[in-house]
Structure 1
Amino acid sequence: MLSDDHVAQKVREIMVEALDLRLDPRDIGPQVSLYSPVIQLDSLNLLQLLLAVEAEFGGHIEDEDVMEADLETVGDLVELVRRHVAGLRTETPA
């Protein structure tokens, strides 16, 4: 079972790799804007980032969940992934 801290750290690591950021993942705080000059997220980068998150954690993050998350900060993204991971834990096979 993944802790919230582990999920947050993995999300930051994925961001650094998927977005080719020249940052240490530990230096990316939850309050950092995804659209800041530091992160420079755009719609294509968001798609790449979400695909990388899905590959790391498994499953699929629904478009509706992304839209409802109102992603503005790194913390918002981490929370979306936490909910996704929690949902994977509670799903039962059909």
Structure 2
Amino acid sequence: MYDLKTADPVQEEVCALLRDTLNLTGRAAELTAETGLFGSLPEFDSMAVVAVLTALEERFGIVIEDDEIDAAIFRTVGSLTDFVRRKRAD
């Protein structure tokens, strides 16, 4: 499913979370750091943002404050992964 030469465990977990939350099934294998999210994936709408944020908090054990939420976080899989990394480092 993922290219093991460039495997990134955090990104893999974010992709799995997106697959599960958005019901992407087989399309999740196509997700890369450059894959667009909000405005690019039809399943990733405003309701999905709330579901993804909740799932991120649960899966990664992080707390996301309202003032941290920015559209730039949801630009790509990579930007969402970077956000998760920053939150886990806090």
Into which bin does the TM-score normalised by the smaller protein fall?
Answer: 0.7 to 0.9
Aligned length: 83
**TM-score of the superposed pair, with normalisation by structure 2:** 0.78
Alignment root-mean-square deviation, CA: 2.1
5+ long unaligned stretches in structure 2: 1-6
Q: Deviations over 1:10-47 (max 9, x none)?
A: 0100000011112354420111110224x531111011
Q: Find runs of 4+ consecutive structure 1 residues off by over 6 angstroms.
A: none
Aligned-pair identity (%): 31
**TM-score of the superposed pair, with normalisation by structure 1:** 0.75
- 1:86 alignment counterpart: 89
1:54–1:70: structure 2 CA closer, same or farther, 3 Å change rule?
closer
For 1:15 and 1:41, locate their aligned partners in 2 and report how far apart those are by CA, in whole Å. 9
- 1:90 alignment counterpart: none
For 2:28 and 2:71, locate their aligned partners in 1 and report how far apart those are by CA, in whole Å. 26
Mapped pair 1:72 → 2:69: no
Structure number with larger C-alpha Rg: 1
Residue 47 of structure 2: SS of its match in structure 1?
helix
5+ long unaligned stretches in structure 1: 88-94
